[in-house]
Structure 1
Amino acid sequence: MRARYTEWLEKDKLLLIQGWKRDGLTDEQIARNMSINPRTLEKWKANYEPIRQAIKRGRTEVNFIVENKLLKKALDGNTTAIIFWLKNNWRDKYNDSTLGPEERKMIQAKMRKLEADTRVSEAKALLAEQVSSQNNAELERMLKLLEVEGTEDGD
């Protein structure tokens, strides 16, 4: 007999789903516990807010539980927990990078330019595939136009 989504919309079933997620089960394990295919669970999450919220609440609860345990260990003087907490909560101040803020901004700008250049190159390749080899002049004109537009986007 196939499980019907309506039975999983009942309060006690939603609490069960939430508890499974809080206990650390994956969505695939939850689907197995519900006797449904993982793809079915994905569809149900997309279509039925109570099921999606039960999973979300379970995940949020376990995140808070773990976060509180980590904080307690950090406050108790556990050096590893302190380092982990600081690196994840004050990334700008506590990181392993030797780069200054300006250097990081410059690297990010270079990455954005590289991504833009990559998009232009991909567009050129696509355009070259679409334009026939008999029309080389038109291809050259379009490629030049792409180069100009790509330079303007990168600035």
Structure 2
Amino acid sequence: MSLPNIFYKEVSDKIIERINYLNAESKPQWGTMSVAQIPAHCNVSYEMIYENIHPKPNAFLKFILKILVKNKVVGELPYPHNSKTAPQFIIKETKNFEAEKQRLIDYSNKTQQLGENYFDNKEFHLFGKLNKIKWNNMLYKHLQHHLSQFGV
């Protein structure tokens, strides 16, 4: 089974359409994050790709992440509900929902426009180099998980 390819415009457009169904009143079907925290949480992956604002793990922690976490994140199996969230992805502060939602849409568009060849064998902050399939799985699966969490 392969996941839809987030680098294809029609898949990316469908994700953005689903993001746009979120509104400030949306309630989660599971989990503890608010609707304003979810786009901010999803934006962390993109910040690790495009921004230099998150500290990189040291070599030992990166090794542990590769062994214990990487395959769960880049594989095709969906995340279970109420999965443990990595510390970098925990959003505690109040966020501006509309601003975070727009950032997520902008990041999604940028990723699609850069395309899968840009990502093929590109270094990821936490796991090292990933091929384009693993990049797709990681990005698509994370968005799928949280959009489903809010019923969109």
Structure-2-length-normalised TM-score: 0.22
Q: Which has the higher contact order (CA 8 A, sep 6+)?
A: 2
**Larger % of helix: which?**
1
